[in-house]
Structure 1
Amino acid sequence: MGTKIKTHKGTKKRFRLSAKGKAMHRQSGTSHLAKGLSKKRRRNLRGTTAVAECMEPTIHAALNGHSY
């Protein structure tokens, strides 16, 4: 029997998989210095968004198909 594939812990902290299997992430630019952004920009940066399709296979491999 082969060795188990370990989950990449950095990826686990930054991404999660949606119910349909899309990789979701928090949008950048909101942690500090947001006062300089317009209210509209800050509002639109709330929540999560889907990762680019070209990055999804890499994230799926790092998470081994699990959603955390």
Structure 2
Amino acid sequence: MPKMKSHSGAAKRFSKTGSGKWKRNKAFGSHILTKKSPKRKRNMRGTELVAVSDTRSLERLIPGCR
């Protein structure tokens, strides 16, 4: 049986931490920033952990990352 391929879009957007949790970037921070408050834009910086309920689907999209 051949190797499973990773979902390329998901592989670029998600990565695993050292403890095995999934990490993601926050959404809505790239354009149309004039109407967003400075606090909201500041909170969109950096990364956040993926919800535990979504980790199973991520493991299926990115099978090689363990």
Tell me the TM-score normalized by structure 2.
Answer: 0.86
- Rounded to whole Å, the distance in 2 between the matches of 1:35 and 1:16 is 30
Structure 1 residue aligned with 2:41? 42
Code of the aligned partner of 2:6? T
Q: Where has structure 1 moved over 2 Å in runs of 4 or more?
A: none
Q: Share of identical aligned residues, percent?
A: 33
Structure 2 residue aligned with 1:7? 6
Structure 1: where are the runs of 5+ without partners? none
Per-residue deviation, residues 12-66 of structure 1 (Å, max 9, x unmatched): 0111111111111111110101121111111111011111111111112221141
Structure 2: where are the runs of 5+ without partners? none
Tell me the TM-score normalized by structure 1.
Answer: 0.84
Structure 1 residue aligned with 2:23? 24
